[in-house]
Amino acid sequence: MMEGTGPLKGIKIVEFGGLGPGPFAGTMFSDMGADVLRIDRKGAGDPPVTRIDARGRHAIALDLKDPADIARCLDICDKADVVFEGFRPGVMERLGLGPDIMMGRNPKLVFGRMTGWGQQGPYAHTAGHDINYLAITGALHAIGTQDKPVPPLNLVADYGGGGMMLVVGILAALINAKATGKGQVVDAAICDGATYLMSLFYGMKEAGNWQDKRNANLLDGAAPFYDTYQCADGEWIAVGSMEPQFYALLLDAMGEPSLGEVKQMDQARWPELKMRFQEIFRGRTRDEWCKVMEYTDICFAPVLSMTEAPKHPHNIVRGSFVSVAGVVQPAPAPRFSGTPSAIRWAPAPVQHDVADSVAKWAEPST
């Protein structure tokens, strides 16, 4: 198994196994060089190689209802810089693994908590999913068509507002712990993080520059120059020519410079311009539009499928996708000039020799 090379090399992290944004955070930590030990519940199956968010971890299984395994778990966490979990509020406390106990034994410990609704609040103890967390932030209301809100996969709440906010919070707390010798609890509620991501739009709304309805604003698909269009072959393209100079390039490439006589920001004219754009873009295939617009300042890109994306020249040059154990998957991000991130190994089976696995995880990095 490859030793970590990233900026978190030598950092010891314990991840309590779960689903969704928690494992994504664990993937980021591992890719950035941390030694991550995942503790699964007894009886958990081995992750398949396609379970990309399980890559690069040591993994053991413990019976968290067995006092002996709880004691073993606490001993493991004594050696950690970071522990994080994604259970409902109160679960870790009932198991005897709450932050007060762990941090009492290991004062430098950073204890990350990933929940949907947070540790307190009327919804805190109820179930939910990305679509629900997104709903109460105002974000879901703002995304979609005029007819209905449309969930944007589970990227905005679970992974943006959840997993990535957990990573940021833990790293900030870790820096503080290294400086002060004192750890702390990081409460990463997905609904909080998704709300935080909406800061720009709440600011625009307060300034009177954002209508509180869908498909009526600059960035939500209402503008003809910031939308997707279907081509003659049924494929799609995306244009984002907001700045006047880029908009002029767009109209020239479309063969319709005279459309520039209509003021670009005249929202009353947007519907008729949108219909004209749709008609023009349906006149050629996606590849034909790529030949005209790609690699220019128009702010243009083809809308690629997940099958196509790894084969695009830009993604190939950037190395944005890699193959590990025969599975094509996104490469680590962001990039570091001196301590590059790396995928250390494919998802590994849960190890039955707990003592040996913990010893390998705990040994100092060279």
Active site includes 352? no
Using 50 as the pLDDT threshold, list the residues of the chain that sit under it: none
pLDDT at residue 140 in the model:
97
Whether 235 contacts 285, CB under 8 Å: yes
HEC secondary structure over 283-309: CCCHHHHHHHHCCCCCCEEECCCCCCH
Burial, 127: exposed, middle or buried (Cβ in 10 Å; 0-12, 13-18, 19+)?
exposed
- pTM summary value: 0.95
What CATH number labels 226-311? 3.30.1540.10
Q: Which of 129, 141, 187, 252 is catalytic?
A: 129
Instruction: Using DSSP, state whether 192 is helix, strand or coil.
Output: helix
Amino acid 159: pLDDT: 96
Give the pLDDT confidence score for residue 365 in this predicted structure: 79
Task: Give DSSP secondary structure letters for 40-92.
Answer: EETTPPPPPTT-GGGTT-EEEEE-TTSHHHHHHHHHHHTT-SEEEE-PPTTHH
* SS3 of residue 5 by DSSP: coil
Q: Which fold has domain 12-197+332-362?
A: Rossmann fold (3.40.50)
Looking only at the bridges linking them, the beta strands covering 82-85 and 236-240 are: unpaired
What's residue 4's pLDDT? 83
Pairing mode of beta strands 300-302, 321-324 = unpaired
* 136 beta partners: none
Residue of 35, 40, 81, 158 with catalytic role: 158
The terminus-to-terminus CA distance of the chain in angstroms comes to 14
Convert the pLDDT of each residue in 154-174 to its tens digit.
999 999 999 999 999 999 999
Nearest Cα to Cα of residue 354 among 105, 73, 106: 73
pLDDT in tens, 130-148: 999 999 999 999 999 999 9
Q: Give alpha helix (H) positions in the chain.
A: 21-31, 67-77, 91-95, 99-105, 130-135, 139-142, 165-180, 190-197, 199-206, 244-254, 270-281, 286-293, 313-318, 354-362
Antiparallel, parallel or unpaired: β 185-189 and 321-324: unpaired
Sequence ranges of the domains in the chain? 12-197+332-362, 226-311
DSSP 154: T
Query: Token match 């739009």: residue?
Result: 201
pLDDT at 20: 81
Yes or no: say if 161 and 133 are a contact pair by the CB < 8 Å rule.
yes
User: What's the CA dihedral at 48, 49, 52, 57 to 10 degrees?
Assistant: 80
pLDDT score, position 2: 79
Whether 129 is a known active-site residue: answer: yes
* Residue-level pLDDT at 19: 79
Q: Tell me the β-bridge partners of 189.
A: 115
Residues 6+ apart with CB under 8 A from 274: 224, 227
| Cα 199 from Cα 353, distance rounded (Å) | 47
- Cβ proximity of 234 and 281 under 8 Å: no
